A and B are shown apart, each in its own frame.
Chain A
Amino acid sequence: MTGDSEKHSYLRQVDKSPAPYFYIKTSLEYEGRGLETDSLQLKHVIMQSMTEVFGQVGASDTVDVLKLSASGEALLRVPSRSFVKLWGALTLFGKYNGLPCVFRVQQVSSSLMSLSCNSRTWDIPAMS
Chain B
Amino acid sequence: MAAPFANGAPNSKLVFEKSSFDDPKSSHERVLNTKYFTHNASIILPYSSSAAQLQFEISEIQDQQVTYLIRDVPVHQLVDKEFIEAFVKKGQLYILSQRRHIDTHNCAAVFPTGHLLLHITKDTYEQLGLEGKPSVFSSLKPTKYVVDIDLKPDSFTPGRKGYDRVLWCLKDRLGLTFDLLISWNPHDEKICASSVSKFFKSKGLVVSPVPWCVQTQWQNKVRTPVLDSTVVTATEDACGRAEAWEWLGAMACGIDLSESCADNYISTLSCPTPSGSCPRCCVLSVSGFFTPVTTKWLLEKVRNEVESKQEKNKVPWGSVTFHGFQDSPVSVGSREHGFFQEGDNLHSFLTFCNKDYWLYSAYGHHDLCQ
Give residues in A with beta carbon < 8 Å to B: 7-23, 39-40, 43, 62, 64-67, 69, 75, 77, 80-81, 83-85, 107-120, 122, 124-127
Contacts A109-B342, A113-B321, A113-B346; is A126 near B209 (CB within 8 Å)?
A: yes
In the complex, the 3 A-B pairs of residues with the closest C-beta atoms, listed nearest first: A112-B249, A110-B12, A116-B252
Q: Does B310 contact A (CB under 8 A)?
A: no
Partner of B245, one of A39, A108, A111: A111
A10/B255 in contact, CB under 8 A: no
Q: From residue B323, how far is it (CB to closest CB) to chain A in Å?
A: 5
Q: Are B11 and A13 in contact (CB under 8 A)?
A: no
Task: Fill in one digit per residue for B85-107: 1 if any A CB lies within 8 Å of its CB, else 0.
Answer: 00000000000001101000000
Q: Known contacts A108-B341, A122-B39; is A113 also within 8 Å of B245 by CB?
A: yes
Closest to B342 in A: A109
Find chain A residues with CB under 8 A from B12 CB.
Answer: 15, 18-19, 109-111
Q: What residues on B are CB-neighbors of A83 within 8 Å?
A: 8-9
- Tell whether, in the assembled complex, residue B8 and residue A11 are in contact, meaning their CB atoms are under 8 Å apart: no
B253 near A111 with CB under 8 A, answer: no
Cα(A39)–Cα(B255), bound, Å: 13
In Å, the complex CA distance between A124 and B254 comes to 23
Complex CA–CA separation, A66 to B249 (angstroms): 11
A86 to chain B minimum Cβ distance, whole angstroms, is 10
Apart from A18-B9, A119-B326, list 4 A-B contacts with CB within 8 A. A8-B25, A18-B7, A66-B250, A114-B249
Docked complex Cα distance between A80 and B23 (Å): 36
Q: A8-B23, A80-B9, A125-B211 are in contact. Are A111 and B39 (CB under 8 A)?
A: no
14 A-B contact pairs sorted by A residue (CB < 8 Å) = A10-B18, A10-B19, A21-B246, A23-B249, A39-B266, A43-B265, A66-B269, A110-B14, A111-B249, A112-B255, A115-B249, A119-B39, A119-B324, A126-B208
Nearest CB of chain B from residue A26's CB, rounded to whole Å: 14
A15 to B369, CA, bound (A): 11
Q: Is the CB of A116 within 8 A of B8?
A: no
Interface size class of B (residues with CB under 8 A): 35 or more
A107 and B343 CA atoms in complex are apart in Å by: 10
Interfacial chain B residues near A111, Cβ < 8 Å: 12, 14, 245, 249, 344, 346, 362
- Distance in Å: Cβ of A81 to nearest Cβ of chain B: 6
Q: With A and B bound together, what is the CA distance between A111 and B241 in angstroms?
A: 13
* A10→B17 contact, CB < 8 A: yes
Which of chain A's residues has its CB closest to B38's CB?
A119
CA distance A81 to B256 in the complex (A): 26
Query: Which residues from chain A contact B360 at a C-beta distance below 8 Å?
Result: 113
Contact B327 A119 (CB under 8 A): yes
A120 contact set on B, CB distance < 8 A: 101, 326-327
With contacts A16-B13, A113-B362 known, is A10 near B253, CB below 8 A?
A: no
State A11–B179 Cα separation when bound (angstroms): 41
Q: Which of A7, A62, A81, A117 is close to B268, meaning CB atoms less than 8 Å apart?
A: A62
CB distance from A85 to the nearest CB of B (A): 7
**Contact flags (1/0) for B229-256 with A, using CB distance below 8 Å?**
0101000000001100110111011111
Closest residue to A110 on the B side, CB-wise? B12
Q: Is the pair B232, A11 in contact by a Cβ cutoff of 8 Å?
A: yes
Chain A hits for B254, CB < 8 A: 67, 69
- Residue in chain B with minimal CB distance to A69: B254
Q: Which A residues lie within 8 Å of B323 (CB)?
A: 114, 116-117, 119
Contacts of B267 in A (CB 8 A): 64-66, 77
Neighbour of B342 across the interface among A11, A18, A108, CB < 8 A:
A108
> Given the complex, which residues of A lie within 8 Å of B5, measured CB to CB?
85
Using Cβ atoms and an 8 Å threshold, which residues of chain A touch B325?
119
Closest to A116 in B: B252
Q: Is the CB of B344 within 8 A of A109?
A: yes
Which residues from A are CB-within-8-Å of B285? 116-117
Q: Which residue of A lies closest to B256 (CB)?
A: A67
The answer to the question of B331 belonging to the interface, with a C-beta cut-off of 8 Å to chain A, is no
Question: Shortest beta-carbon distance, A70 to chain B, in Å?
Answer: 11
Task: Tell whether B227 is near chain A: CB-to-CB under 8 Å.
Answer: no
Chain B residues with CB under 8 A of A62: 268
Q: Which residues of B contact A16 (CB under 8 A)?
A: 11, 13, 369
Which B residues from 352 to 370 make CB contacts under 8 A with A? Answer: 360, 362, 364, 369
